[in-house]
């Protein structure tokens, strides 16, 4: 397979990447044939997969608007993925130009393209790190340079946790992040869920497909996601299917469970 000019030399272009598959679902162009093949297999097994990704992206957009309106001006987006239309800094800085955003991703393609997009933006940056090492994220010079974590900060972990298995201790990882945040800070989570689905075949197919990628899937239900908000006060309506979280119209939350993503927002009191 010929390596595109924009692909960093140190990435494996023969193995599907979940970040590049997600980019494909959203209509992006920064993916390889192996990613498209895996994504197309996923769509054949779960035809609503692109709509699920779009529903999750719309949730992110509504959440950022909500947080800006609540006075948040600092965002730490962990697992931000390959930049597509509607990034956090675009949404936040359009409404509040002084907003500061740090993107974090483990995927070098995502980081490389984020660097390109953010060139010249002195209030947004990107670092290559892993959610499974929150202490390295928190101590990173770029995070420390741009964000004052003693002030209200929104930590976004959107469409990422289903790639963090229980043996990687997600609750402990999020607790490390929470303990570094000042009063009035926020946590945003969303993750894939098969809750309430009578037919397990789609879940089994999805798990089999993602086992061939760099990040197997780990589904969670509402109660499992609630545990990860320990220390945060959930914002109404709590943990719901993402189209149900502050929908723009009543119609947009119809058949919300088909989104396949549960999400919620929590706040540290004080």
How does the average pLDDT of the chain come out, rounded? 90
| C-beta of residue 38 within 8 angstroms of C-beta of residue 213 | yes
Flag whether pLDDT at 267 surpasses 90: yes
Flag whether pLDDT at 132 surpasses 80: yes
Flag whether pLDDT at 28 surpasses 90: no
- The pLDDT of residue 62: 97
Neighbours of 69 (CB within 10 A): 10
| C-beta of residue 23 within 8 angstroms of C-beta of residue 113 | no
Spatial separation of the C-alpha atoms in residues 199 and 197, rounded to whole Å? 5
Asked whether the whole model's pTM tops 0.85, one would answer yes
- The pLDDT of residue 3: 55
In sequence order, what are the beta bridge partners of 75? 101, 154
Q: Single out the residue of 121, 123, 126 nearest to residue 100, CA to CA.
A: 123
Flag whether pLDDT at 196 surpasses 90: no
């Amino acid at each position: 397979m010929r390596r595109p000019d924009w692909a960093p030399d140190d990435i494996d272009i023969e193995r599907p990447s979940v970040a590049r598959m997600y980019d494909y679902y959203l209509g992006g162009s920064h993916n390889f044939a192996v990613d498209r093949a895996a994504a197309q297999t996923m769509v054949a097994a779960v035809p609503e997969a692109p709509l699920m990704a779009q529903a999750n992206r719309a949730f992110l957009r509504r959440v950022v608007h909500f947080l800006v309106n609540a006075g948040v001006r600092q965002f730490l987006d962990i697992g931000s993925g390959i930049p597509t239309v509607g990034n956090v800094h675009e949404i936040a800085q359009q409404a509040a130009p002084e907003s500061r955003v740090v993107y974090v991703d483990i995927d070098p393609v995502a980081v490389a393209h984020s660097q390109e997009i953010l060139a010249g933006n002195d209030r947004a940056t990107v670092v290559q790190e892993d959610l499974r090492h929150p202490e390295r994220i928190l101590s990173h010079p770029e995070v420390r340079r741009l964000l004052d974590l003693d002030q209200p900060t929104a930590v976004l972990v959107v469409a990422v946790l289903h790639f963090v298995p229980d043996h990687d201790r997600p609750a402990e990882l999020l607790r490390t992040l929470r303990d570094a945040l000042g009063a009035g800070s926020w946590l945003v989570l969303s993750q894939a869920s098969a809750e309430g689905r009578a037919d397990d075949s789609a879940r089994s197919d999805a798990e089999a497909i993602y086992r061939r990628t760099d990040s197997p899937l780990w589904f969670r239900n509402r109660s499992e996601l609630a545990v990860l908000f320990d220390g945060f006060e959930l914002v109404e309506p709590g943990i719901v299917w993402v189209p149900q979280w502050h929908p723009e119209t009543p119609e947009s939350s119809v058949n919300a469970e088909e989104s396949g993503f549960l999400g919620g927002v929590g706040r540290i009191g004080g």
